[in-house]
Amino acid sequence: MSAARSTLAGAVVATLRRDLLIAYKRKNDLFNPFMFFVLVATLFPIGISPEPEALGEISAGVLWISALLASLLAMDNLFRADFEDGSLELLMLSPHPLYFLVLAKNIAHWLVSGLPIVLVSPLIAYMLNFPEGAYSTLVLTLLLGTPVLSLLGSIGVALTVGLGSRGLILAVITLPMSVPVLIAGTLTVSQTLEGASLSGYLAIMGAMLVAALTLAPLASAAALRISVN
């Protein structure tokens, strides 16, 4: 029993380490989503208005939408390289449940593409004249929400991994699915600003994260089995 568990844990840790190492070696993967997030957020003041008032009003939405788009853009890296060099098939042949391996890949991917966005968000928020008093809420919601975005995105990526041109179809599938997260994230921020108690909203986001953690890798694993033959 304990031996079996340790090998599963070992496989998960090995997958995690491998993906992090690859990301570290390929600095582009580390840098691009982050850069994309900053760039998109920069476009809003230019496109809408540099007025601090107007910016403050929309800043939470801008940050969330930028995070959503950045995570969508980053999703392509999740399985593609592994699919192309065949290591995905090897992963699927392993005796351990694919669920946990997919989860490990997801975690590694989020650590590389999601976490930097969460960390840089207060800075961008400041530049967008984000209202004071909600910085911690913003970071917390992003911390809870971006993993859900990656987990949802991984279903779409797994379904389309065999396709040649999958950028647009991935967006068409994934973006509508991300709407609940966007709603929860932005509402939590705006309600905190209006003085509502934070705990209920964070509980909802936490519930979303738990649901995504349990269900999404299941769907992604099934989708991978379909796409990779």
Partner 1 sequence: MDWTWFHKWGSPKWFYELSGKWLPWLVGAMVTCLLIGVTWSLLFVPQDYQQGLTNRIFYVHVPVASISLAFFPLMAMAGTIFLVWRMKLADVVVKVAAPLGAWFTALALASGSIWGVDTWGTWWVWDGRLTSLLLQFFLLLGVVSLRTALEDSEGAARACALLSIVGCINVVVIKYSVDWWNTLHQPSTNFTLATDQANGPEIWVPLIFMIVAVYLFFAISLILSTRNEILQREKRAQWVMDLVAKS
> Which residues are at the interface with partner 1 (CB under 8 A)?
155, 159-160, 162-163, 166, 169, 172-173, 175-177, 179-180, 183-184, 187, 190-191, 215, 219, 222-223, 226-227, 229
Q: For residue 193, how many C-alpha atoms fall within 13 Å in the half-sphere facing its CB?
A: 17
Shorter beta-carbon distance to partner 1: residue 58 or 112: 58
Shorter beta-carbon distance to partner 1: residue 197 or 229: 229
In the bound complex, what is the minimum distance in angstroms from residue 219's beta carbon to partner 1? 5
In the bound complex, what is the minimum distance in angstroms from residue 76's beta carbon to partner 1? 15
In the bound complex, what is the minimum distance in angstroms from residue 180's beta carbon to partner 1? 4
145 neighbors 108 (Cβ within 8 angstroms): no
In the bound complex, what is the minimum distance in angstroms from residue 145's beta carbon to partner 1? 12
User: 26: which DSSP letter?
Assistant: S
Shorter beta-carbon distance to partner 1: residue 105 or 166: 166
Residue 153: what residue type? G
Distance CA 126, CA 1 (A): 51
Q: What angle do CA 190, 121, 35 make, to 5 degrees?
A: 135
In the bound complex, what is the minimum distance in angstroms from residue 218's beta carbon to partner 1? 10
Torsion region of 94: left, alpha or beta (phi above 0 gives left; psi -120 to 50 gives alpha) = beta
Torsion of CA 200, 195, 121, 153, to 10 degrees: 30
Shorter beta-carbon distance to partner 1: residue 120 or 202: 202
Shorter beta-carbon distance to partner 1: residue 109 or 166: 166
